[in-house]
Structure 1
Amino acid sequence: AGALGGGVELSVAAERAATLLAPLLPEAVDHVLLQADLTAVAPGPLRRPLSDALAVLADVESKGGATVYRFTPGSVRRALDSGQTATDLHEFLKAHSRTPVPQPLSYLVDDVARRHGHLRVGAASAYVRCDDDTVLGEILADRRSASLGLRRLAPTVLAAQTDPVALLDGLRSMGYAPAAESATGDVLITRADAYRTPARTAPVPVPDGPPAPDSTLLGAAVRAIRAGDRAATAVRKEPAAAAPAASGALPRTSAAETLATVQAAAMTGSAVWIGYVNAEGGASQRVIAPVRVEGGFVTAFDHTADEVRTYPLHRITGVAELADDQV
């Protein structure tokens, strides 16, 4: 209710301000005074529709108590480019001028309109030319040429919206035997075994220094350091029948012992210490908690990498249970 009351008060205040200021502001006019020197004088502020239309047809030359507009070939051409015709411009000037339309202004409009559009500019990716316009007519009539975006520019020239290579392929698929030509009109000779070197791509800019690590990267680094410390300090339980291994050496167990130990760890949810050799031959020691053993692979949480990984059993050189105080 308070907001509604405030809105009503603002509306009343605005209406009162408009009533008080109206006698002090000039009244908008709906006409101009055309001059013989190709100018138009607005004796006051113009109404919005007239102001917008006149801004397209003429250029503002000066402002003040009265605004002066200048008609030029460029401004008249701008009005014609907006879709108006010479007849539309004559009627507009006659309807909004308190003075007769000067003859020089009428001549200017007619002269620019007579030359407007004689030259046409458009976009074309490729063209087809043939001395026999009947062949070009057959191509245009063929439904298979619809995807090429062909348009007749002259009796012997067609413009296309596809690139020259696609145009050549399209015409050949239609049963024609076109030949490519250069910008000078010469036939281009291509070798079947010619290969062009692909264009070089711009190198990726190298930053001045390493990017500042964010909180996610810092957290991952801390977890990796802690996991590495745990893996490095983990004490393994040597099998009773195993020969003593040198300090830091990889455990060596048979394939059957490795499989049995990993399966038991997966069932009990305990962690084990393994020796692992990757595809490049790099050996490492890891502390893993097996989750699933099947198909010659063990899926486990790797405490060293602090993530779940899958290891081929044939790359595990051995396995040992952790000491009781490490479990």
Structure 2
Amino acid sequence: MPCFPFSQIRQTKVTSTAPKLGDIMKKDSPVPTLTGWLEQLDDDQLSGILRNRPDTALPLPPGLGSLAARLQLRASIQRAVHKLSALELAVLEAAANAGAELNPITAPEVVERLHRALRHSAAVPTAEQIGEALNRLRQLALVFGGERFIILPETMATLPTNWQLLPEEHGRSLTFGEASQSIEALPARHRKILVTLVTSNGLGLTRDAALSADPARPIPQLIKAGLLSRVDEQTVKLPGVVRRVLEGQEDTAWRVVPVEPSAVPGADDAGIAAGLEVARLQRMLIDALSTAPASTLKEGALGVRMVTRLTRELQVDEQQVARVVSLGVSSGLLRRGVPDPLPADDDGGDYIAPTPVADEWLQATLAEQLAHLMRGWWTQTYAAWLVGEADEKNKPIHLLSPASRRDALPETRAMILQSLTRVGEEDLEADLFFHHPLAASRIPRETIRHLLEEARWIGAVAGGGVTSPARVLTQAPAGVIPEIADIAVAVRAPKPVDYFIVQADYTVMVPGPLQPEMQKIIGQLADLESPGLASVYRISEASLRHAMDLGLTATEIEDFLTQHSATGLPQSVAYLLQDIARRHGTLRGGPALCYLRSDDPALLHSAVEAAGALGLRQIAPTVAVSNASLIEVITALRKAGMQPVAEDALGASLDLAPRPARVPAAEQPRSAGPLDESRIRAAVAAIRREEVARTGTVSDQPTLAVLQAAVRGQRTVTLGFVDKQGVAVHRTVKPLTVNAGQVDALDESTGAVHRFMLHRITEVIVD
């Protein structure tokens, strides 16, 4: 007989309300109550619960009854459940399978149940490890009671739909690879049964579930292959691993025992070298956006044209631009807004431009610069690797667009680096799935790979381990972001040097990071060839012309190179500089509406022809004037291949670079941090003051939670409901599914399946 999903079973309408927890569990007396258990705790134990569940301490609970009610709030339970390790979740699952949602059980029962479920696993937790996990669950108040304990109501319901960590107890348990191969080889009819169950909660009714069923039928064959699990004579269940394969999910590195520590210390020197390159790119980006802020699209993102411009100016690829821009925004060095001064071609929109924080960062020490960037990266929510990919509407994702934001990235980044402080990269996934199973199950593998690449790029990970400054971040309490000064202490940056070696082949060897002012000048007159702690620059005709265009004279350049070169200035470099100087600056311009002068009448005549569109006219053999501004004339002549410089009334060179554009800095949010100990003490004191007025009763248990627990525990219940004629009726049934406000339940006396409307049920009694 085929296996039918419950959603296709004929409906029977009925009615409902919520009973008290004590009423539900009459048959197993005495049943521990949450308030009664809290009454037995001392102040230290109560403080521990508040510390682990800080949301229940604010505002101060007036008594144990109020605290118990807060501990049972679904949102609070969900936060607590997401803190659990795989072992703690497995213990919780084993306890639920043993009926601990409805009736008290003991620790040995959980140990026996868990060991039986994991009997074929490579690693099985010891009784001591299981006991520690149970203690952790008590500290979170997810289970309560003494030797006999019970699971806090609603706890299992907060887990993701169809969550299953333990292998099937009945039948054959398959690995992900075995399930994939078996499903691939299935006939179409068999596969259709499995696909149908995926869309119907994973449970189905069939006569072929019986042990005496015809082995040639599809259901017995699927059970034998391990692709279905027999629940009872009429019910089958889709194993979790089979569901993951059919839903196209990735294989999961589940394990319920911790991975053996294998972390290696991070290579700090390599990390600092990587960080220096990022800092250099950030300085170049600040300079580029100071001169010409990048206009944004309507959504605040940078379009393709702006990204292309920045790749050209920074001389890196688009991925590097996406990373350094995202980092600049996250670090507060860049921001979207209206810059001052406005660009000459202002279009009335917003721009990405540096903030005053960028000026402070540029003047900071190397260690402070690297710490600032590391801290900004730690909190970054932009997924730079998504730039250029297609979004949900099949449109490209732009840099800094809302589509490139992922609010969970800081938490994911922290989990990855914390894992790398325990294990090597080869065990990263296994460690993640043990310590953060719920969060890790939702993280795509691609995200982990990209975050690791970013960590290497900025120097948080090097040599396979976490570097010292990144360890400061991982060791901070949850929700706390260390100050830049604290991170900078861990940055073992080499002291800046004040010399370099200029070689005859026009290369400049720099043995370490230069002082900020020297770094700026060398960056103006030479091109970087090899970044790192020891870098290499190359002097060329184009780089020297660029330096002179920025206002440096040949004499200033020669003095700078001679003063700081440890081996003197080679003749080849001196000759090149003198040759450029002879041709550079022979045209002189002044702000007298403006003028050009030159000792070479032929050169001046050529300049007048080149800038004729600006109204430049010759008034003497060596002088020409124009109605255009000096900067326009200088720019036009440079585009024409000439090399003019600006001068003041005394003939001194002028720097015509515009005032750097800035937008106001945003106020940096403060990290929340853990609950203050004084608040915990105040909460305990408030509770104790009200103990006299406590009732010791338990809040009502929702009908939904009871029925869901009965489904998981495969328990028979008696439902009280009102029929269509308003007559109160009781019926003993076995709940099969609870979904969309409806309960499908099996009447074992007749074999019929009935559907009850949840809001009509008036009473639930667990038999």
| TM bracket, shorter-chain basis | 0.3 to 0.5
Larger Rg: 1
Please identify which structure carries the higher strand content: 1
TM-score, normalised to structure 1, is 0.34
- The answer to which structure has the higher helix fraction is 2
